[in-house]
Structure 1
């Protein structure tokens, strides 16, 4: 979520004064060092313009910051169990690592115990923590690597230059084929938090909130399917997207004209077409969509197709609710779904 300037000033004052009442309330990301701290950190205080403030550790990790070793921001409000401390250190030694069951045994840790304690201390699972750290590194590369040398791209990726995309280390290389496509990544802010867009000169491939669960897997599948390198860089499609989303969040636009490339099964495509037909300010139930498809027993399949949508907001999966009127699930989180439906409500009257 976007934080008000007043709240940022309040948090900065607490950071400068080392106010213990704010420990655990916010995390301060320090741009010059790449670390995040809690309010009472004893390190030299940065300038205000070099600070970013987050309400959760996951947000700070996804922004590319690592825990400060001096103030140990993740120790609050409890001391960290030995298993968790070992795992945090292991992640920092190899942030790109994709953890498997055998890796826990090598550290002499029972995975179930470690995962449970991780959840108790940080409010997120070990998998979420490791994923957030990996994705944060990739996101940071996108945010700081806007300039792409096209000649370097056209030479090829096995050249001595060692030119890699933003996700190579954490996902591996896509299959090597004769023709490699280039997809450009951008991260931008919205009133509901940061979003990532993947696009080329012709289409938008993905639009998601950066903290969406399963985002890493979505991007990995996209890279393989399109045999693509994902590089930081702008496109006309992305520029139009940000412009239209700004109008949307300002209640000035509710019909998008962004060219999108849908990539799914024939059934998923049919569901997404129905989603796109739901007018702003209106909702449809999973049962309604199943009936439109000619089989009321397809509710679960409809839900799965809805969850597989990779173009948030524009393909409005947030307009699908339960038959009893409850909001149901949403990949970006229920609070965001509620916000979007409230935003669109006036247009449906």
Structure 2
């Protein structure tokens, strides 16, 4: 809200000084160019009379400003943090490494500061993210038909009990619960926004989630129960198909998904999910918009609950739904991913959204 910001003179001084204390907390819109950016933007500073200040990206858009192409204010602030950038690069280079706070300190970063930064931006700590990367290596071994002991060693766990406990906490089920001749099969693949878990049968996709989503264990348990335990590792054709289509999506080639979906929810919840699938990429809508489109204008809270219960990320685009004030609001995959997806989809803005 604008009332959370100091007066414009204070913000203009911060803009001139490129004060990092205001990075991501306030934005400037320049009326002479129609562009908005962070106060730390290195571009030539505008005249005071051409500046308008906002507390959020949503407010900038609502006022008709477009993002700066030099500083990319829509990019998550996490990317500007040198500790986060360095540690993520190190994790990508060696995902099997067993990290400790001493390792973080050896790279010249304060562990407590790093812990708070990762928690703020990603909802998890760096050490937990590293543990998830090791676990994913073990999951890949299981998906390829390997033994549990091989998966345990691949994931870097000296103790079988610790591996099973971590596995159960991460996926909600111990490794022995998965069958080789399963009707549903779970597999993992990497995307530019992190690993995703897909569950499909021979014809339909049942689940597509980011691997670090907190609700994933509960969602897998429900699927496991619904199929009476007939769940295993591996992939059917729908998983291969959605992986290929996500590749096109992230590469900017196509936002079209046509994999058949198996929807698990109440009739109202499924109606909301189907309505979400009609929202064009590159557009955003409010919960009240969706409620009106369903001829249920008073069901805004029910729409929000259905949106949060979505377990087929991106394909059912719940990330295109914002708060009534344009705020990002909640997203199971993390607000940083929601911001990334919205930014990515600006490439797909429908032509009719740009009148001549």
If the TM-score is normalised by the length of the shorter chain, which range does it land in? Answer: 0.5 to 0.7
Which whole-Å CA distance do the structure 2 matches of 1:168 and 1:148 have between them?
A: 19
Q: Is the 8 A contact 1:282 1:319 kept in 2?
A: yes
Which whole-Å CA distance do the structure 2 matches of 1:238 and 1:121 have between them?
A: 34
- Does residue 141 (structure 1) correspond to residue 138 (structure 2)? The answer is yes
Q: In 2 relative to 1, CA 216–168 (structure 1 residues): closer, same or farther, beyond 3 Å?
A: closer
Equivalent in the alignment of 2:151: none
- Does residue 335 (structure 1) correspond to residue 324 (structure 2)? The answer is no
Which whole-Å CA distance do the structure 1 matches of 2:224 and 2:106 have between them?
A: 33
Q: Is the 8 A contact 2:320 2:342 kept in 1?
A: no
Query: Could you tell me the TM-score, scaled by structure 1's length?
Result: 0.57
What CA deviation, in whole Å up to 9, does each residue of 1:217-260 have, x standing for no partner?
32233222333354332321111112212222233323211011
- Larger CA deviation: 271-280 vs 211-220: 211-220
Q: In 2 relative to 1, CA 221–26 (structure 1 residues): closer, same or farther, beyond 3 Å?
A: farther
Equivalent in the alignment of 2:119: 123
Q: Is the 8 A contact 2:328 2:339 kept in 1?
A: no
- Does residue 257 (structure 1) correspond to residue 254 (structure 2)? The answer is no
Q: In 2 relative to 1, CA 133–218 (structure 1 residues): closer, same or farther, beyond 3 Å?
A: farther
- Does residue 278 (structure 1) correspond to residue 274 (structure 2)? The answer is no
Displacement after TM superposition at 1:265 (Å): 1.6
Q: Is the 8 A contact 1:281 1:347 kept in 2?
A: no
Which whole-Å CA distance do the structure 2 matches of 1:241 and 1:121 have between them?
A: 32
What CA deviation, in whole Å up to 9, does each residue of 1:120-172 have, x standing for no partner?
586379x94597577555422222334338xxxxxxxxxxxxxx9x9557634
Which whole-Å CA distance do the structure 1 matches of 2:230 and 2:136 have between them?
A: 15
Equivalent in the alignment of 2:42: none
Q: Is the 8 A contact 2:207 2:312 kept in 1?
A: yes
Equivalent in the alignment of 1:295: 296
Counterpart secondary structure, 1:27: helix
Equivalent in the alignment of 1:185: 186
Query: Could you tell me the TM-score, scaled by structure 2's length?
Result: 0.56
Q: Is the 8 A contact 1:142 1:231 kept in 2?
A: no
Q: In 2 relative to 1, CA 317–281 (structure 1 residues): closer, same or farther, beyond 3 Å?
A: same
Which whole-Å CA distance do the structure 1 matches of 2:349 and 2:224 have between them?
A: 36
Q: Is the 8 A contact 2:272 2:303 kept in 1?
A: yes
- Larger CA deviation: 188-197 vs 227-236: 227-236
Q: In 2 relative to 1, CA 195–347 (structure 1 residues): closer, same or farther, beyond 3 Å?
A: farther
Which whole-Å CA distance do the structure 1 matches of 2:111 and 2:320 have between them?
A: 43
How do residues 59-74 of structure 1 correspond to structure 2 at under 5 angstroms?
A: 65-68=97-100, 71=103
Which whole-Å CA distance do the structure 1 matches of 2:142 and 2:226 have between them?
A: 24
What CA deviation, in whole Å up to 9, does each residue of 1:75-106 have, x standing for no partner?
964467xxxxxxxxxxxxxxxxxxxxxxxxxx
Equivalent in the alignment of 2:221: 220
Displacement after TM superposition at 1:288 (Å): 1.3
Number of residue pairs matched by the alignment: 251
How do residues 96-135 of structure 1 correspond to structure 2 at under 5 angstroms?
A: 120=116, 123=119, 128=124, 135=132
- Does residue 237 (structure 1) correspond to residue 297 (structure 2)? The answer is no
Displacement after TM superposition at 1:271 (Å): 0.7
Equivalent in the alignment of 2:86: 26
Q: Is the 8 A contact 1:283 1:321 kept in 2?
A: yes
Equivalent in the alignment of 1:206: 207
Q: In 2 relative to 1, CA 308–134 (structure 1 residues): closer, same or farther, beyond 3 Å?
A: farther
Q: In 2 relative to 1, CA 285–248 (structure 1 residues): closer, same or farther, beyond 3 Å?
A: same
- Larger CA deviation: 127-136 vs 329-338: 127-136
Q: Which runs of 5+ in 2 are unaligned?
A: 1-81, 147-163
What CA deviation, in whole Å up to 9, does each residue of 1:144-202 have, x standing for no partner?
334338xxxxxxxxxxxxxx9x955763469x9xxx84422222222323222112212
Q: Is the 8 A contact 1:148 1:231 kept in 2?
A: no
